[in-house]
Amino acid sequence: MDARPPRRALGPRPAVRRSTAAARVSRRRFRTLNLTMILPLLAVVGVLLVARQAQTWLEAIVLGLGLVAALIAYERWTAGEIARVAIPCLVVAAAVWPFGALVMDSQTQAAYYSIAIVGGLTIPQLPRHRGTAAVGLAAYVAAVGVLGLVTAAQADASDLISEVIVPTGLTVILIGLMFPNKGFYDVVADLEEERDRESELALIRQRMRFASDLHDIQGHTLHVVKLKIALARKLIHSDTERVEQELREVYDLVGDTIAQTKELAYGQRKLNLSVELENARNLLEAAGIHVRVDRPAEVGVRAIDLLGQVLRETTTNILRHSRATLVRIALSEHSITIVNDGVVDDVLPELRGLAVLARRVSDDGGELTVRLEGGRFLTAASFPPPPPGNHPVTTTASVR
């Protein structure tokens, strides 16, 4: 009995494990393996024992009933549903053994064959008191064997071995073998659950990233639109050409946002850091904030996407949470640093967008830092340089 599917315990279970497609496939594979390899072997051995030891039709029928009970129990065990037939199979097997020990005059291997199999399959599946049940079943088998010796006309040492020691020992061995077997397949079931749980977590993380990207795209756009419309309202009577320009930019911005949202939905979105930098500069300057950009080197391909998202989210946060008059943006090959003045409070506000980005940057091997420093707000993201001789990998593939 070398394989079996994840079990279904006897009696009420504390928690019902959720069945998954992978678990069902594994159960079917284990069941097929057991039914094609082990069940025929058990049936052949049982039939040979009955044919060899039954002297009358009555003995053949009784021993046959025990064999049928053992095979039914095994078949239900392979399906993880032995609880449904455990009691009737145990009753039949427990009745066949005293019949063989007390009534039959020949060897009694066929009589305890069924009780050993049914007991070995059933007891390890009990939700509790399995040790007590195993000792009780072994004691029952031994007691029946001793009773058979007592009622026999003549009994010697060989009868003690065949009627008591061998049946009891076989029963104990089968039960003992099934305990680690059950534990092994419990581990298999737990691994299946863990794999399914990891798949769910990966799906949740993917949804959170999608929501974060959607927030970056549309939240940023809405803030820009709000500022431009506010500016247009101020100039509507004094500078109509500027109002038309602002409205054209709002129109183009909304169209661009729709396109980015479609790209995000189809997994095709890639940020252009130069475009994001120019957008951030225009947005901040439109709000009356002076912007200084220090870009001594081109940013590595691997870092472009996440650094662009950090720049976009930080720009939105500056407009939301500060009264900045000066913003400094420093770019290097593997990092970005954004510092702004106009900090309203001495306590960092709750920046959920950057908190999500921090996890994404960390998952990609980088580090995102947010802190107050000398009355200024600093946001910095950096990635380690790639090993010498390795080509950088695009960020899009690693974070999506």
Q: Is 88 in the same domain as 192?
A: yes
The pLDDT score that the predictor gives to residue 327 is 93
Q: Is 182 helix (H, G, I), strand (E, B) or coil?
A: helix
The amino acid at residue 99 is F
User: What is the four-CA torsion angle of 230, 234, 240, 242, rounded to 10 degrees?
Assistant: -60
Residue 383 token pair: 């990635």
> What is the model's pTM?
0.45
Q: Is 276 domain-assigned?
A: no
The pLDDT score that the predictor gives to residue 100 is 82
Number of domain units in the chain: 2
The pLDDT score that the predictor gives to residue 153 is 65
* Final residue of a structural domain among 175, 200, 225: 200
Q: Rounded CA gap, 83 and 73, in Å?
A: 9
Q: Is 16 domain-assigned?
A: no
Q: Is 39 in the same domain as 159?
A: yes
- Inter-axis angle of helices 57-78 and 86-102, to 10 degrees? 150
Q: Is 49 in the same domain as 172?
A: yes
Q: Is 266 domain-assigned?
A: no
Q: Is 205 domain-assigned?
A: no
The pLDDT score that the predictor gives to residue 291 is 92
The pLDDT score that the predictor gives to residue 260 is 73
* Final residue of a structural domain among 177, 200, 223: 200
Domain range enclosing 57 = 21-200
Nearest Cα to Cα of residue 185 among 354, 5, 361, 307: 5
The pLDDT score that the predictor gives to residue 203 is 58
The pLDDT score that the predictor gives to residue 22 is 52
Spans of the chain below 70 pLDDT: 1-27, 105-107, 153, 155, 181-186, 188-189, 192, 195-196, 198-203, 205-207, 209-210, 212-213, 216-217, 262-272, 297, 299-303, 347-350, 386-400
Q: Is 196 in the same domain as 293?
A: no
The pLDDT score that the predictor gives to residue 196 is 63
Q: Is 40 in the same domain as 161?
A: yes
Q: Is 350 domain-assigned?
A: yes
Q: Is 51 in the same domain as 189?
A: yes
Q: Is 43 domain-assigned?
A: yes
Q: Is 257 domain-assigned?
A: no
The pLDDT score that the predictor gives to residue 235 is 85
Ordered DSSP codes for 115-160: HHHHHHHHGGG-SS-HHHHHHHHHHHHHHHHHHHHHHSSS--HHHH
The pLDDT score that the predictor gives to residue 388 is 61
CATH of the domain at 380: 3.30.565.10
Q: Is 71 domain-assigned?
A: yes
Q: Is 170 in the same domain as 50?
A: yes
